[in-house]
Amino acid sequence: MEELLLLIFNIVWVFVVGFKGNEWAWQKGDYQDVETFKAVQATWNRAGLVQFIVAIVIFVLYMFVFASLVTSLINGNY
Q: Is the pTM of this model over 0.85?
A: no
CA–CA distances in Å: residue 75 to residues 23, 56, 63, 72 = 55, 28, 18, 5
11-53 residue pLDDT tens = 999 999 989 999 999 999 889 999 999 999 999 999 989 999 9
CA–CA distances in Å: residue 44 to residues 63, 64, 76 = 28, 30, 48
Instruction: Please name which of 43, 55, 42 lies closest in space to residue 14, comparing C-alpha atoms.
Output: 55
32-41 residue pLDDT tens = 999 999 999 9
- Distance of alpha carbon 13 from alpha carbon 18, whole angstroms: 8
